[in-house]
Structure 1
Amino acid sequence: MALRLQRKLRRWHRWLAIVTAVQLLAWTLSGIFFAFIDIEFVRGADHRQPVLQTPIDLSAASWITADATEVLIRNRLPEEVVVGVVGLEETRWYLPNGKVLPALNEIEALQLAGLKTDLNANRAVFITEAEVGSEYRGRALPLWRVFKDKNPSTVAYIDATSGELVAVRNTAWRWWDFLWSLHIMDYDDRDTIGTLFLKLFSIMSLLTAIAGVALFISLPKKWR
């Protein structure tokens, strides 16, 4: 009876291990990467310049705040004050006099890139459409994607309205993003935790471990 049980456990353990081996390896490798790399380096913090300290004059300010939950006051371009009215669904940006804030043009986007990053960007691409799994996913559109011709692998994304530097992307971030997709088993938008695949393989990995422990316990003491 004991021998028959050992054979069944060994067989179940073997097949479960074969099925889950690749994913277990992906979890291990991605976990090692996450543990050893500096997250601030991944986020491109070393390419961000210190925030400019400039005075703000709101003596002539006037804007609509009927449904505002928060009001943001920012410097966009040097000596240019902008006001963001945060509503329930979106943030609307204005000049202090209440006029709607126009979007940055290409020259202004590159100027801001020079003020807010060390990329020495000389190219700017205007982005108006969201893409699943993109580097700028989750950010409000439109955006300017700025980079240097000689180093296109490191890019910055600037909000085309507020002028905020919303993200810096580099090779380390792309490796992180790829390994994260393997870690959570979401290969499309890479943001969904709790996918069917993740739940299934988590259960199978647990069963593999349980079968291994049960197999060890079932062995005679002299074989352990």
Structure 2
Amino acid sequence: MKNPLKASWKRPATWFRWHRWLGYLIGIQLLIWIIGGLIFAIVPFQTMVKGKDLVSKPSLQLPEQWQLNFSKLTTEHGALQGLQSIASAHGFALRLQFKDKNLITDLHGTPLPKPSQDQIQTFAQQLYRGHGNLEAVRLLSAVPRQLAIVKELGTRTNIWLAQFKDSQNTRLYFDANTGEYITVRTDAWVWYDFFWRLHVMDYSEGEDFNNTLLRIASMLALLMMLTGVVLSVRNLLRKRF
């Protein structure tokens, strides 16, 4: 007597049934992978997504005969472990790295005051290289999510937003405490990040491409492909093409 279960695996209807149900389970995600891959391939990353043509970072060069009183800083905050020049709404500034904290100061080691709205506006216009006009400068406690899952600045809080009216809806962000330029964001960046999160199936941070959901979806997609291969080979052998 034949084993019904063993016999069912020989029938094309069984393979087609598995192929169809796997398609129901993974079809939408496969479509998302294809659309996302197409976007990643055709959208210019540096210019449209990163906004390299929209912002010109100022060149930073220490003034001649500049000198910082390191002994005073060492006494107050411990040993100085690093020194970096940065651009801020106050002009040329320094990031001083100590063991337990970082300080943003002027050239003489004095901590910078919080920038005003006018200073942020002037600094944003200096950095912007697009063809739009500055629409608004706002102080935000946090950046609202875009498209429900996109976080333009991650978990950063207390920032200035300079909004420009152009084709990319360009947004420049600055640290509200120091006036330091953080980054530029555009609508292209939002859509790119949105599809990236859908692509890797990490809807919170968009950085974990080894998560459980992605593993399961990948295995289901592989099974769907294998069942399709079996059906195709059977049809080819029986000359049903």
Fold conserved (TM > 0.5)? yes
Give the secondary structure class of the aligned counterpart of 1:101.
coil
C-alpha separation between the residues in 1 aligned to 2:166 and 2:188?
18
Deviation of residue 130 (structure 1)?
A: 6.7
Match of 1:73 in 2: 85
The aligned amino acid for 2:95 is G
Deviation of residue 221 (structure 1)?
A: 4.4
Change (3 A) 1:210 1:180: same
Identity %, equivalent residues: 23
Deviation of residue 211 (structure 1)?
A: 1.5
Runs of 5+ unmatched residues, structure 1: none
Kept in 2: contact 1:184–1:193 (CA 8 A): yes
Give the secondary structure class of the aligned counterpart of 2:223.
helix
**Superposed, which structure 2 residues align to 1:120-199 within 5 Å?**
120-129=133-142, 133-137=150-154, 139=156, 141-148=157-164, 153-199=169-215
Number of corresponding residues: 222
Q: 1:37 is matched with which residue: 43, 56, 62?
A: 43
C-alpha separation between the residues in 2 aligned to 1:147 and 1:213?
52
The aligned amino acid for 2:228 is G
Q: TM-score, normalised by structure 1?
A: 0.82
C-alpha separation between the residues in 1 aligned to 2:79 and 2:142?
27
Q: TM-score, normalised by structure 2?
A: 0.77
Deviation of residue 158 (structure 1)?
A: 1.7
C-alpha separation between the residues in 2 aligned to 1:37 and 1:76?
31
Match of 2:3 in 1: none
The aligned amino acid for 1:101 is L
Kept in 2: contact 1:131–1:137 (CA 8 A): no
RMSD, aligned α-carbons: 3.0
* Segment of structure 1 superposing worse, 6-15 or 17-26: 6-15
Match of 2:112 in 1: 101
Give the secondary structure class of the aligned counterpart of 1:46.
coil
C-alpha separation between the residues in 2 aligned to 1:156 and 1:117?
8
C-alpha separation between the residues in 1 aligned to 2:135 and 2:80?
37
The aligned amino acid for 2:82 is E
Deviation of residue 55 (structure 1)?
A: 4.6
Kept in 2: contact 1:157–1:165 (CA 8 A): yes
Per-residue displacement from partner, 1:88-111 (whole Å, max 9, x unpaired)? 675321223332222222111111
Runs of 5+ unmatched residues, structure 2: 1-6
Change (3 A) 1:103 1:52: same
The aligned amino acid for 1:99 is T
Per-residue displacement from partner, 1:177-201 (whole Å, max 9, x unpaired)? 2211221222333333333322211
Change (3 A) 1:197 1:88: farther
* Segment of structure 1 superposing worse, 191-200 or 35-44: 191-200
Kept in 1: contact 2:88–2:181 (CA 8 A): no
* Segment of structure 1 superposing worse, 63-72 or 44-53: 63-72
Match of 2:20 in 1: 14
Match of 2:126 in 1: 115
Match of 2:96 in 1: 85
* Segment of structure 1 superposing worse, 196-205 or 47-56: 47-56
The aligned amino acid for 1:169 is R
Kept in 2: contact 1:42–1:172 (CA 8 A): yes
